[in-house]
Structures are given as C-alpha cells and as structure tokens.
Amino acid sequence: MEDEKFEAISHPMRIKILEILSKKAMGFSELKRELGIESSGKLDFHLKKLKGLITTEDGKYILTKDGYAALQAIYTIRRYGWQKRAYVLNIIIYIIVNILSAFKAFNIWLYTVFPASTIWIIFYSYWSIVKRGIFKRM
C-alpha cells in the first residue's frame, strides 16, 4: 500500500513539486515555470506519478493529507536528529520542573506534578524509544 508512495517521492523533481506545493497552491504553468522546465509532458508525467499525494482545488494543485505525510517522511530523513534532541530536551524539562516543584512544595509535587509528568514521560519515552527507535544505532 505505501510502497507506491516511496516510488512517488523517489524522483528529485517530485520532491521539488511537493515542497513547492506545500508552500503555495499553483496551476500547471506556474508550476512549470517554478520548476524551470519547458516540457509540459514532463510535468504531466510527474504530476500523474504523484496521484494520491496531490489534488486540485480551484484549478490549482495542492497537497493531500498523504502528500503532507510524504513530505513529513522527507523531513524525517533530512532532520532525523530533531527527534533525539526533542526527546533529550523533554527529559531535561521534566527533571527541572520536578526538582523545582519538589523543593517549593513537596506535597503538591508528590500528588500532582510528579504523577502527571511521570505518566507523560513514560508515554513519551515509550513512543520515542520503542515505537520510533530513536536511539537505535544512532
């Protein structure tokens, strides 16, 4: 099912098209100009390959939900480090919030801040490490 999505974004021009359309809806000719190509057939070919990732609205091309997901995948590869950094920052803030709260008012911390933030951090760690494998062989 998702194999053809990777096929769809496996050509530089199609990635370019997704990036352009994520910023601005465009018609056929404007897109052609933006891509710096002369051949209409070429653009037609690539637009057809992007079926499911783009659609039209008021005569202009826009990304679909899956189009944004595909772009997301591209950014995942480009900015993979982000996830790890976000995770580390999350943990640091968790620790800071808890230490500050515990020192200021132990009881409140123990019964509200600590359980709530700990549930969150467990969930987030599970998501980051188990589901997304952010620390696997990084």
| 21 is an interface residue for its own copies by CB under 8 A | no
Nearer to its own copies, 35 or 117 (CB): 117
CA distance 60 to 23: 13
| 10 is an interface residue for its own copies by CB under 8 A | yes
Determine the distance from the C-alpha atom of residue 53 to the mean position of all C-alpha atoms in its chain, rounded to a whole number. Answer: 15
- Residue from 33, 112, 122, 129 in contact with its own copies (CB under 8 A): 112
Nearer to DNA, 24 or 42 (CB): 42
| 64 is an interface residue for its own copies by CB under 8 A | yes
CB 51 within 8 A of CB 5: no
| 23 is an interface residue for its own copies by CB under 8 A | no
**Cβ atoms within 10 Å of 115's Cβ, excluding its own:** 11
